Amino acid sequence: MSTAIPRPGPLPGTLQVRDGQLRHLLTIEGLGRPLLEQILDNAESFASLNEQGVKKVPLLRGKTIANLFFEPSTRTRTTFELAAKRLSADVMNLTMSASSTTKGETLLDTLRNLEAMQCDLFIVRHAEAGAAHFIARHVAPNIAVVNAGDGRHAHPTQALLDMFTIRRHKGDLSSLRVAVVGDVLHSRVARSDIHALNTLATGEVRVIGPRTLLPAGVEQLGVQVYHDMDKGLRDVDVVMMLRLQRERMHGAFIPSEHEYFQRYGLTEERLALAAPDAIVMHPGPANRGVEITSEVADGPRSVILEQVTYGLSVRMAVMAMVMGVKDAFDT
């Protein structure tokens, strides 16, 4: 199956955007600032809805959304499912590792069968970079695709919910210093966050980590590189911690988790180097005692649980938009 999925190259704009409207969401890269801000603005409306007693709207009533998860996930799959149900869509959850694709059926065969079931939107998570792009290029014209994470490549809705969280706490991003800390090399979240931060004209984006966990030429993404945690954290407004992606590592990238924590773990003492009102973020699940202490993860400056909450609103906005709803409550 891996031979059927090419690694993603430059994306034609028409694949994600058609007539100025979001057609698929496959990556942050290549999307303009106005469109990102429109998604965040729509998410704001859904956040207000999610804070009310009745949290359901009929925007996608009669639509069928299929969650196609080719690798394990709990948080992302659950939030997509709940977001779809709050939009009144019908939802199918398919654990693809146990599907016909393991019995010799090709990915395209599976897609054709789902199309025959009159699905309208595919939410795709896959271990291989480029899977969501491959599916978007081969689905019927009336079906939308949202990338819920593909290999090391992209996780666009995570980046959008991160931007939404920052905007809610900090407002305008243009004067902010944001640090992305840890295993950037293996992290699809880091890549999407960096693209989103720069598209939204964030004041300064830093990456902090050992040389072995930073991609070669990472500076070309528009970031300042620090290998010293203390120097990198000084005066930052947002600290975005990353999980060590052990499942994607092949070889010895760090001497030990203990030594990694000593050099790059976020403690209360290190957080004191950041701005006094700095917020701490993490895409989860967090390795406590490896990249972050429990005192910080559960502390007053942590917004980790808020990220989960806002993920619902952002995913509702994205699904509504790719299904042709221009504004949050446009019927």
Binding residue numbers for carbamoyl phosphate: 75-76, 125, 155, 158, 284-285
**How big is the CA angle at 182 (ends 197 and 148), to the nearest 5 degrees?**
60
DSSP output for 194-232: HHHHHHTT-SEEEEE--GGGS-TTGGGGT-EEES-HHHH
Element (H, E) at 37: helix 33-50
Binding residue numbers for L-aspartate: 103, 188, 243
Q: How many CB atoms lie within 10 A of CB 118?
A: 10
Contact 187, 245 (CB under 8 A): yes
> Smallest Cα–Cα separation from 139: which of 106, 112, 116, 113?
112
> Smallest Cα–Cα separation from 25: which of 188, 164, 151, 144?
144
DSSP output for 112-144: HHHHHTT--EEEEEESSTTHHHHHHHHS-TT-E
> Residue 331: beta bridge partners?
none
Coil, strand or helix at 154: strand
User: Angle formed by the axes of helices 156-170 and 188-199, to 10°?
Assistant: 50
Binding residue numbers: 75-76, 103, 125, 155, 158, 188, 243, 284-285
Q: How many CA atoms lie within 13 A of 8 on its CB side?
A: 27
Q: Which residue has the tokens 């090399």?
A: 185
> For residue 273, what are its two tokens?
């180097």
Cis check for the bond before 141: say yes or no (omega within 30 of 0).
no
